[in-house]
Structure 1
Amino acid sequence: MHFPVWFRYHPKNSYSIAALLPLVEADLARQPKDGIMLYSFATAQAKEVYAEVDRARAFGAAQAVYIAGGPHPSALPEEALQHFDFVVIGEGEESLPQLIRALGRGSDPAAVKGIAFKRQGRVLFTGNREPVDLDLYPPFSRILAPIEISRGCPWGCTYCQTPRLFGFCMRHRSIEVIERYARRHKDIRFTSPNALAYGSDGRRPRMEKVEALLLALWEQKKPIYFGTFPSEVRPDFLTEKALELITRYCANKSLSLGGQSGSPTVLCRIGRGHGREEIEAACDLALEFGLTPQVDFIFGLPQESEEEQRQTLDLVRWIVAKKGKVRAHRFTPLPGTPLWGELPAPLAGEVEACLGRLALEGRVTGSWSASKDKTA
């Protein structure tokens, strides 16, 4: 039996759709339709997505099988199955096409690894899959997206879903495959939890691998943006050698750095694996090479004291005084992480006020309001 298959499109999930669209025969939808409806979503979208699916079921808007995937359903499949028929857990490149084929043939979905569904009122998890070989699957087809060059992360920061979703062992696309898909872009951008970890185990950089990648792409004579959003760079990976490569081969005017806190105690507590000194050194080095450091910080991490928040604020002021930029974020607990279920620490009034002033001056961007606590 053939079912029409639809990806529920939203700009926030376009990268995941871009990666999966080459693997299934599907179209895009902006509302539920008859057939098989595929949703990929993060925690911030979950409430809205659940409401849409529940409304469609209640009013018979679509005769559909609903399949969920992405960070939030992968971490909370039991919750997702209160609204969806199936959940694809973790990587979907193999599980999703196999599940769709099973539904079309009327075969038992329990034979498909990496999914969860309800049978006789009980949640059945079909078992873990081995991590996929990225070279076997295209990063995009009909929808262009930044090229995912690496997946997974060995650091295990307590607030982050990446290693819980994709594993603690880094995997990389080969230069040959990256080159092939880069030819479809006018300028070349990437996704990676740490761009400078390309070709490495994620703990010790291998600059010869990064250089080989950038040299191969540079020969395409297109602008290359490496270590900029939507990827970032760990500050402890930023060296003179790394910056020599970036300034030689890339069009970057900035670098995205994951700082997260200016408090040595907090950095240790959340498992960052580097200190404040590495953040400061990375900013200084970037500026020496003519690049603007754009540093991310999280405010309101659990158990964060006012003094620890002030330490982070002091580092923010130091960065913007040097003409760097800062993106400030309010801590949001994410399912599957060690900090899931923890409450954000209250944001000190003086810290919030100072961030507001810096934002008005155009030196800080982001969202850090304590009102986030109401929905966290």
Structure 2
Amino acid sequence: MTNAQDILRPLDQELVWQRELYKQLHRHPELSSQEEGTASQIEQKLTEFGYAVQRIGGTGVVGVLSNGAGSTVLARADVDALPVTENTGLEYASTVAGVMHACGHDMHISSLLGAAKLMADGRAAWSGTYIALFQPAEETAAGSQAMVDDGLVTKVPRPDVAFAQHVMPSEAGRIGTTAGPVLSAGDSLKITVYGRGAHGSMPHLAIDPVVLAALIVLRLQTIVSRETQPGQFAVLTVGASNAGTKSNIIPDRAELLLNLRTYDTDLRTRMVASIERIVRGECAAAGSPQDPDFEFYDQYPLTTNDAATNERVTAAFTEHFGADAVFHATPITASEDFSRIPDAFGVPYTYWTVGSVPSEKYRRAVADGTVSRDIPANHSPFFAPAIDPTLGVATAAHVVAALAYLNSPGQ
């Protein structure tokens, strides 16, 4: 493995502009597929660093740095913000009403741009090709597919390996890695069931979709509790049940919004089949006059780390950061669309987490058993990663991972 120390030696001075960039991005968040200002800044920086830059997938940006013979490494950062009203009190809080970088994507951008700069300035210490990819619309599960649909695999060199990382509300300065599933597959589903409307005083003339929806909600609970093998991970949440407009009107339809999370594609297939079976069965039992509608949306693929890639990168992290700074992460029930990019190329990948909560605060919360209360999670209006040491660790992690695969000069 190439020694990362030489390339990372200027990190402290690079962090000066990275911190300011992070604050600027945090002040001016942009929603999914609307990241024009963010994309323009990324393009400008990558061009300054000497990368061949192009837009792919609307507001997606890719920079390619060719540096002789050797492996090709792709590192990805997501760039979109969320429709959340910030309540952190930070001096660099969002200035956009109802929009916030509540998931740390501004940290992802700043760290990957820092790594891109260090890799460009340190070309004498490595050989190969480095690809910095900035993906839009992760929060809507649309961005990676948009880049693939726009010809990503034909517009940039085929990587040998791909990487991504995510800041999390865990202890700052520590990196979590794992082989196999690291983020769940996620599916949202809108189900519309139909009844027959009538006056509320004349229920005998109606087929009540409110009662039908209620029975479906109850029956759906058995998919996890009675149809899924104990020990297998599965979540089925009914997040919304909507029907009717007035107390004395029985409506003619009801809508349910479901969310599924799984680590196993076969289990996901069985759950979807069970949902359809239960919904159709309850509709038939109620005498529904019309078949139900099923509409899937916001679908996220399973993120499952290649074992050999994870092992190699974990070893590099351990060598650089020290054994105490690297831990075995448990799978997270959140979802991501990153894996569509390496899957489109047919290459292995690994995805790791970077802590963002000051050590003293995090350890005190753990000791007091108040993590869930005192440590705001991603997507919270209070989510505020500590810039230091998070930004430096995230930047260095990208460099260290890349150098685990890129050749030393002369190799």
**TM-score of the alignment, normalized to the shorter chain, above 0.5:** no
**Which structure is larger by alpha-carbon Rg, 1 or 2?**
2
TM range (shorter): under 0.3
Does 1 or 2 have the higher relative contact order (CA < 8 Å, sep 6+)? 2
The normalised TM-score by structure 1 is 0.24
